[in-house]
Amino acid sequence: MSALAEKQRALISDFDFIVDHQERLAVAVERAKRAPALPPELKIVSNRVAGCTSPVWLVAEMAHGKLTFRSDAESPVVRALVLLLCEFYSGGTPADIAATDERLFDTMGLTENLSPTRRNGLTAVQARIRKFAQEAVEVG
C-alpha cells in the first residue's frame, strides 16, 4: 500500500465517526484554525488557483523526491478543505500523487452539501496539485 493510500485511509477514519455532513465540515474548519496562514509574500498571483470563486493560494515545494503543499484561502470552509488536500498530498512522490484517486472528499462525505462552485473550486485545486506532480515527474 502506498503512503498516500495509507494517509487516505487515516483521513477517512478521522472523519468516519461523524455522521452529520455539516458537522464534518465544522470539524475540518476547526482543524484549519490551528494551521498557520500562508505568509503574505506567498499570496501572489502566480500562486493563486484559477477556477476558485474565493481566493485560494497554493504553493508546492519539492525536497528529497517528495512534494509538500501549503495553502490559504479567504473562506474558512474553503481554507479547511484545501488544507486537508495539502495535508493529504504532502509527502507523496510525484508519481503517487499523479496516480491517486481524485474522489478523496467524496469518500469522506465532505462534498455532499457543498455548492457546485465550491466543488468546482476543489476540483481546480486538485488539478493544480496534480499538475505540480506531473511537472515534477516530467522534470525528474
Length of the chain: 140
How far apart, in whole angstroms, are the C-alpha atoms of residue 83 and residue 77? 10
63, β-bridge pairs: 66
How far apart, in whole angstroms, are the C-alpha atoms of residue 37 and residue 118? 20
Q: What is the mean pLDDT of the chain?
A: 87
Which residue has 452539501 as its cell numbers? Answer: 113
State the pTM of this model.
Answer: 0.88
Domain of residue 131 covers: 3-139
Count of domains for the chain: 1
Taking residues 81-91, report their average pLDDT: 91
36 vs 19, which has greater pLDDT?
A: 36
Other beta carbons within 10 angstroms of residue 69's beta carbon come to 24
Is the pLDDT at 98 greater than 90, yes or no? no
The pLDDT score that the predictor gives to residue 129 is 94
Which domain CATH number covers 48?
3.90.1010.10
Provide the strand spans (E) within 46-103. Answer: 56-63, 66-73
Question: Which amino acid makes up residue 87?
Answer: E
